[in-house]
Every structure is written in structure tokens, then in C-alpha cells.
């Protein structure tokens, strides 16, 4: 991990910091329509292909853990997982639980308007669920 790491200002603005896995910071996007998490690996690299094989494997493992959590903890139809970075160039991976009755289905979640974000107690409850489920090497914020 690098001492030059700083979370992108847009991610800070749009998300709640929940905690930390060995490589990644775990965020919750402040759009309550769908369970939407973002992993931000602590690296200066901006492209997945520029990570060494060990870092790629670690990030993939963390992404899979969060995806399995979303699938188990929320009533979803489909997982959307992606590493887009046209607006926020800092490396980050989205894990979004989608339902065929969510307001954006079947289109993309990215760039959609939100009816509202989470209340503080909802963020705390989701954060506690994440901590229970991911356990072990996960540290709450």
C-alpha cells in the first residue's frame, strides 16, 4: 500500500466510508434505491491491468466477498460488478445489487438521479451487517 493514497473527493462526496479490507476501502454509495458498494484499492495505479498479479488477486477476492455479501444480505435479482472510471479516475470497483423492480432496471445505475440517500441509522445498520459478514480482516471505519 502506498503513503500517497487519498480518497477521491467525488467518492468522499457521493459515498459513506464503511471500513477497510486488506487492500481496499469499502464505501456505500448514497443512493438508497439499490445496495451499491464501491471498493477503492489503496494504490496509485488507475487501471486494473497495471496491478501486479498478487494485487489483482487480492482485489478480485475482496470484490467477490462484497458481491457475495450483497447477494446474501439484500433481495436482488442480479449483481452488477464493474470498474468504470471516466469521471473518477481513481481505481475503484462497483458492486451493485439490482432488482427487476428497481427504478433504473434494466438500464445502468450509473448517472441515474436518486430519490434520496441513506439516513445515518441506515448507514450504521448496513455497516454493522458488513462487519458481521466480512469479519476477520475487515475493519469498520
Are 78 and 106 a contacting pair, CB within 8 Å? Answer: no
pLDDT score of 86: 82
Measured distance CA(126)–CA(139) in Å, rounded:
14
User: Region 55-68: what's the mean pLDDT?
Assistant: 98
- Ordered domains of the chain (ranges, CATH): 9-104+116-134 (3.30.428.10)
Question: With 80 as the cut, is the pLDDT of residue 100 above it?
Answer: yes
Measured distance CA(99)–CA(97) in Å, rounded:
7
Question: With 80 as the cut, is the pLDDT of residue 85 above it?
Answer: no
Closest CA to 91 of 137, 54, 67, 59: 59
62-82: pLDDT as tens digits: 999 999 999 999 999 999 999
Q: How many angstroms from the chain centroid is the CA of residue 136?
A: 18
Measured distance CA(83)–CA(101) in Å, rounded:
24
Q: Global pTM? A: 0.94
**CB-hemisphere CA count at 13 Å for 141?**
15
Reported confidence tier of residue 110, pLDDT bands at 50, 70, 90: confident
Give percent above pLDDT 90 in the chain. Answer: 89
pLDDT score of 15: 97
Amino acid at each position: 500500500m502506498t503513503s500517497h493514497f487519498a480518497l477521491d473527493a467525488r467518492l468522499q462526496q457521493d459515498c459513506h466510508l464503511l471500513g477497510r479490507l486488506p487492500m481496499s476501502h469499502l464505501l456505500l454509495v448514497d443512493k438508497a434505491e439499490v445496495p451499491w458498494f464501491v471498493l477503492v484499492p489503496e494504490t496509485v495505479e488507475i487501471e486494473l491491468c497495471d496491478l501486479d498479479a498478487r494485487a489483482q488477486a487480492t482485489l478480485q477476492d475482496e470484490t467477490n466477498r462484497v458481491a457475495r455479501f450483497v447477494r446474501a444480505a439484500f433481495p436482488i435479482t442480479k449483481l452488477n460488478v464493474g470498474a468504470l472510471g471516466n469521471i473518477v479516475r481513481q481505481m475503484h470497483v462497483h458492486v451493485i445489487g439490482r432488482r427487476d423492480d428497481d427504478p433504473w432496471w434494466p438500464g445502468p445505475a450509473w448517472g441515474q438521479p436518486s430519490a434520496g440517500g441513506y439516513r445515518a441509522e441506515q448507514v450504521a445498520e448496513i455497516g454493522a451487517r458488513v462487519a458481521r459478514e466480512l469479519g476477520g480482516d475487515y475493519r469498520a471505519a
